[in-house]
Structure 1
Amino acid sequence: MTTVRDTRGIIAPRSMMRRVRFERLPAPDALSGLIDWFWAVRWEFDPGVRHAQQVLSLPAVNISIGDPPPPSEAPPPGPYPLRTVISGVPTRRSTRVLSGTGWNLAAKTTVGGFGAWLDDVSALTDRALPGAEVHPAWGDDLAVRAERRGVGEGAALLASALLEALSRRPERRVREAREVAEGARAAEGDRRVRSAADLASATGCSVRTLQRLYASHVGVSPTWVIRRFRIIDAAERVQAREPVSWAALAAELGYSDQAHLTRDFTATLGTTPAAYARAERA
C-alpha cells in the first residue's frame, strides 16, 4: 500500500511530524465509501520526554488498535495495555500525551460510514468504547495479533475484521451508509454548501430526512459537520504559512463576517486565528 500524507485535523502537525513516525494508508476497494483511510503512528521517546498532541477530529469514527494513552491532558502513567477501541465523533478538541514507546493503528471512516456497522452511531458521539462492546469480534486480541506486524499487515488484519463484520450486516444499511458518505462530500468540498438546507438540496432529500440519516449514521447534525469542515479549512489555510485575509476567508467559507469566523475558530481550537498563525510561523 502507498503512504498517503494528509494532516487535516491534526493541530500543529509540523511539531508532531518531528517527533513521531506517522503514516496514512488507503483503504481496500471492498471498504470503499465506508473507510477513508488507515493511519498509523509510532513513537519512541527518551525517559522524561513527553509530547502533547492536540487533535480537532474530522467528523468520523475511528476503529483503533494499539497501546496509546487515553485522551487526556494528564493521563495516568503508562505503559498502557494493548486494546481495540471504537471512538465516536468527538465534538471537542482532544489531547494525547505521548511518552515512552507506543503505537496506534486505526481505520478512519467516511462521514456516515460507520452506520454500515452500527444502527445508532449517535450512541458513540464523544465516547470511546472497547471494541468488543460494539462488535464481539473486535476484541483486544486484534491489537495483540497486530503488535509484531508492520503497518501494512496490521492494516490488512484490521480490514479483514471490518469486512467480516460487514458481511453480516443488512445490505440496505450498508448501501445507505455509502449514500450518506457520498452526499457528505458536498459538506466537505463545496463551499456553496453553508446550511443543512443547502446540503439537503445537494443530496436530493428533505432537511428532515437528512437530519435523521445523520443522527443514525454520523452521530452529529449536518450543520455541525459543515461547520467542522469549515474550521478545519481555516486551520489548514493557516498551516500553509501564507498570508491570510481573514475577512476574505470568512466570506469564502460562508461566514457572514470575520467576527463570526473568529468566534467559531477560537471556541473550537481554543486560540484566536491570529495566535494560531503566530504559533505556526514560530
Structure 2
Amino acid sequence: MAADDHSTTFDGHTRGILQPARMFAVVDFDRYAVPDELDGLVEWFWSVRWSLPDGQDHRQSVLAPPAVNISVGTAPPPGEDPPPGPYPLAAMFNGVTTEVTVRTLSGSGWNVAARSTTGGFGAWLDDVHAVNDTHLDLTDVFDVDPGLAVEVADRPFGAERTVPIGEALVRLLDSRPRSRIERAREVAALSAEIERNRSVTTVGQLARLGGVTARTLQRMYTSCAGVSPTWVIRRHRLIDAADRVRDGRTPDWAQLAVDLEYADQAHLTRDFTATIGMSPGAYAAANRSE
C-alpha cells in the first residue's frame, strides 16, 4: 500500500475535520491507498500520531461523513473528558457517527484505521444502522484474531501498520454473499455521486440514478450505510459549508446557501449551528483566530 502525499493543507484528506489547523499543530496525519479487493468498500486507510507535553491536551472535533472505522492503536475513547491515559493497545470498531464527535488527545499515542465508504460497510454487516454511534472492541463485532492489535503494532508505523487490518477485512469478506458485497458497492457509488455532484438533492433523483424505487433506496441505505439517503445529502452539505469557511474567510452566505441547495441562508445557518454548535460566522472567526 503506497502512501498518498502527506497533507498539511485543507483538502480531501481533512474533509469533515473541524478547525484542522489546530490538529496539524499537534499531530502527524497521513492517508494510504487500499488493496484492490476492498475497492469501493473502503475509502482509505489513515494514521495519526501525537506527543503532547505534560498537562497539555488537544480536543479534536470531527463532522464525519457516514462511515465505519476499524482502528488499532493507543487512542482514547471518544468524548471531551476521557479517563486519564495512557490507553491500552486495542482493535476497535467505530460505527457511523450521527453527531459531531470529539477525541481528546494527551500524552503520546498513535492510531491507524480503515475508513469505509458511505455504504461500503454493508458488505460486512447486514444492518449497519444497528451499530450507529458505537465504539466497541473489534472482537465483539467480528471473529478476528485477538492478536490483531499486536500484529499491527509490530509493524513499522505508517502504511505497513494498515496491512494486517486490510488482510483481516479481506478474509472476513470470504464468508459474505457476493450479492450483498455488490449491493454495498452500489450504495457506495451512489453516495460518491452525492458527494461530488451537488445537483443531486432529493431521494427521487438518487433513486433514478440507481435504477431503483425510492422505497428500495431507503432500505438499501439503512442497511448498508446506517442512515437514510436524505441524511447523507444533508451531512455532505454541512461538511461542504464547514470546509468553505474554515480557512477563516467570510463568504457570501446567501450565495453559499444557494450553492449548497438550501432554501435560503436562514436554513443553512440553523442547520449548521444545530449540528456544529456554533454559527457559520462564529466558526469562521474561530478559524481566523488560530
Range of TM-score over shorter length: over 0.9
From 153, 157, 160, the counterpart of 1:147: 153
Q: Could you tell me whether the CA contact under 8 Å between 1:84 and 1:138 is conserved in 2?
A: no
Quote the RMSD (CA, aligned, Å). 1.2
Q: Does 1:258 align with 2:265?
A: yes
From 38, 63, 69, the counterpart of 1:62: 69
Distance in 2 between the 1:51 and 1:61 partners? 23
Per-residue CA distance 1:74-114 (angstroms, 9 max, x = gap): 11011111111111111111111100111111100001000
- The residue aligned with 1:50 is 57
- The residue aligned with 1:101 is 108
**Residue 138 of structure 1: CA displacement?**
5.4
TM-score scaled by length of structure 1 = 0.97
Per-residue CA distance 1:2-30 (angstroms, 9 max, x = gap): 22541011110111001011111111222
Q: Could you tell me whether the CA contact under 8 Å between 1:186 and 1:202 is conserved in 2?
A: no
Q: Does 1:123 align with 2:130?
A: yes
List, as ranges, runs of 4+ consecutive aligned residues in structure 1 with deviation greater than 6 Å: none
- The residue aligned with 1:189 is 196
Which stretches in structure 1 are left out of the alignment for 5+ residues?
Answer: none
Identity level (%): 51
From 206, 227, 232, the counterpart of 1:225: 232
User: What is the aligned length?
Assistant: 281
**Residue 182 of structure 1: CA displacement?**
0.7
- The residue aligned with 1:2 is 3
Query: Aligned partner of 1:54: which letter?
Result: S
Which stretches in structure 2 are left out of the alignment for 5+ residues?
Answer: 8-12
Q: Could you tell me whether the CA contact under 8 Å between 1:34 and 1:181 is conserved in 2?
A: yes
Q: Could you tell me whether the CA contact under 8 Å between 2:3 and 2:30 is conserved in 1?
A: no
From 21, 30, 51, the counterpart of 2:28: 21
Per-residue CA distance 1:178-214 (angstroms, 9 max, x = gap): 1111111121111111122222122221110010001
Distance in 2 between the 1:185 and 1:200 partners? 14
Per-residue CA distance 1:235-262 (angstroms, 9 max, x = gap): 1111244441110010111100000000
